[in-house]
Amino acid sequence: MLDIKWIKQHQDRVQRVADQKRIQVSIAELLEWDEQRRSLLAETEGLRETRNKLSQQIGMLARNGNTEQIERITQIKQQAKQVNESLLVNEGELAKAESRYEELMILVPNVVSADTPIGQSDIDNVELKRVGVPKVVDYSRKDHLELGELHDMIDIPRGVKAAGTRNYYLKGEGVLLHRAVQQLAIDLLTAKGFTLLEVPLMARPEALNHTGFFPLGEDQTYRIADENKWLIGTSEVPLVTYYSNEVVNVDEPIKLAAASVCFRSEVGSTGKDVHGLYRVHQFSKVEQVILCEADPDLSESILQEITSNAEHLLQLLELPYRVMAVCTGDMSQKTYKQYDIETWMPSRQAYGETHSSSNLHDFQSRRSNIRYRDASSSLKFCHTLNNTAVASPRILIPLLENHQQEDGSIRIPEALRPYMNGRERLYPKQI
């Protein structure tokens, strides 16, 4: 969340970003309720102070035991009764004002960086660079599902039979590839000083609120029946929550990573990118999360670093990709600046999103109450950042399609071979 004092000073800017991110919230109404709750709080505290003074007076007069004070005690008790009645009304109004204030405050979006493109959707994202050139071949390519069937490594029909639409089975070499790219990503991150965590796959609603995924992303999340818990859509949630309500040492940035299964309902994506393994309900992701000092230059350099980590993986996988600056209309509520990395997918004849990097500044840490002490020992909220090092099975789409050979075999990139028992190529199981 943003600091309410900062919101007051930048009301127009915050409202403009809310409109650009298509978040229905009135900053003017928020500030009205804030003013009202502050006024009611002052009145309520004044009434409580008056009540306490009257109670003290009654006690003193009663201890004196002077019969002449009885009438005075009666008067004060009547006065205290009137104060209590007023206090009861004020407390009710204060609770209402605080409730409405919190409802609006939780909807206020993070502002965006000066270099974030203005736009309505992913169509308006801006390409920053391309790396690698899609290979041109003189034979007919198969898509990843045809290759998966040919190699007996992907089974969609049985996935649907077991769990419904957008579910799948990986088999044999498909599982090995799935695990290989994750392990490659883990090894790259641990070599760069990341601490690897095994994280809970369930989260309390407050963890999702504090990390900025609720309330606006609740429809994308699976709730566990009869429990106040939800399945995570990214390990960013438990990684950030690991330090919630703590004062941390960020003399050196805290680097965390996790490889976890993730779950997303994908509400609203019917008919959009649902072919094969592109948009499924269950997937695995290796995530990077970094906490650092509240220094915009430092967190910007870290954003470049974690994006570079993801690029390095794609380069090792020998896949063409491009980096996109994400526009306001395609950003989430919590994001200050975002890059998407899109990898070339021959069957789509287009680049498809495979990675995302975000700088949140202190928006997430304010909600999660993660602070550090600066050089003057003052408490400040950290900046937090996150990046998808790799997500599978989506990465299998470009991996299989770009490395298929004319005979239907699939070349394994050199960096993956140690994780595939030294194999250089996968051969079809069917002729």
Q: In this structure, what CATH number is given to the domain that contains residue 344?
A: 3.30.930.10
63, 79, 105 — which closes off a domain? 105
CATH number of residue 10's parent domain: 1.10.287
How far is 369 from 208, CA to CA, in rounded Å?
A: 13
Gap between the Cα atoms of 222 and 218, Å rounded: 8
269 and 379 fall within a common domain: yes
> pLDDT (tens digit, 9 = 90+) per residue, 147-166?
999 999 999 999 999 999 99
The answer to whether position 240 is within a domain reads: yes
| Sequential DSSP letters for 273-327 | S-STTSS-SEEEEEEEEEEE-S-HHHHHHHHHHHHHHHHHHHHHTT--EEEEEPP
- Per the annotation, the verdict on 16 as an active-site residue is no
Q: Which residues of the chain have pLDDT under 70?
A: 64-69, 268-272, 430-431
- Predicted confidence at residue 73, as pLDDT, reads 75
Q: Does one domain contain both 364 and 410?
A: yes
Same domain, 92 and 127: no
The answer to the question of residue 186 being in a domain is yes
Q: Give the count of domains, the chain.
A: 2
| CB contact at 8 A, 392 and 365 | no
- Selecting among 299, 347, 356, 358, the annotated active-site residue is 356
Whole-number Å distance between alpha carbons of 363 and 27: 17
The structure tokens listed for 400 are 């299989």
What pLDDT is attached to residue 268? 65
Q: What is the pLDDT of residue 119?
A: 97
Q: What are phi and psi of 31, to 5 degrees?
A: -70, -35
Phi/psi of residue 121, each to 5°?
A: -155, -175
Q: pLDDT tens digits for 56-81?
A: 777 777 776 655 667 777 787 888 88
> What pLDDT was estimated at residue 271?
60
CA distance 4 to 29: 13
219 domain residue, yes or no = yes
Domain identity same for 243 and 383: yes
260 and 295 inside one domain: yes
The pTM score is: 0.92
Instruction: Identify the helix (H) or strand (E) that includes residue 400.
Output: helix 396-403
Specify whether 394 is catalytic.
yes
Residue 353's nearest CA partner among 326, 384, 332 is 326
110 in a domain, yes or no? Answer: no
Provide the CB-side half-sphere exposure for 189 (13 A, CA): 29
Quick one: pLDDT at residue 99?
96
What pLDDT is recorded for position 54?
A: 81
3-state SS, residue 318: coil
Q: Are residues 349 and 293 in the same domain?
A: yes
Q: Are residues 39 and 158 in the same domain?
A: no
Domain encompassing residue 43: 4-105
Candidates 37, 166, 371, 394; catalytic one: 394
CB neighbour burial string for 105-120, b if at least 16 within 10 angstroms, e if fewer: bbbbbbbbbeebbebe
Active-site choice (353, 358, 371, 392)? 353
Q: Which of 279, 322, 348, 411 is catalytic?
A: 279
Q: Can you tell me the distance from the alpha carbon of 429 to that of 384, in angstroms, rounded to the nearest whole number?
A: 46
Tell me which residue has tokens 């007076």.
57
Give domain status of residue 30, yes or no: yes
Q: Of 216, 17, 218, nearest to 103 (Cα)?
A: 216
Check residue 39 and give its pLDDT: 95
pLDDT at 57: 78
Residue among 37, 166, 264, 367 flagged as catalytic: 264
22 contacts: CB under 8 Å, gap ≥ 6: 329
What DSSP state is assigned to residue 391?
E
Under 8 Å between Cβ of 346 and 145: no
What interhelical angle do 173-191 and 396-403 show, nearest 10? Answer: 110
DSSP state of 336: S
Instruction: Specify burial of residue 159 (Cβ count, 10 A radius: 0-12, 13-18, 19+).
Output: buried
Residue 29 and residue 18: Cα distance in Å, rounded? Answer: 13
Q: What is the pLDDT of residues 178-214, one digit of tens each?
A: 999 999 999 999 999 999 999 999 999 999 999 999 9
How many of the other CB atoms lie within 10 Å of CB of 411? 14
Element (H, E) at 202: strand 202-203
What whole-number distance in Å separates Cα of residue 93 and Cα of residue 95? 5
Domain end marker among 72, 105, 138:
105
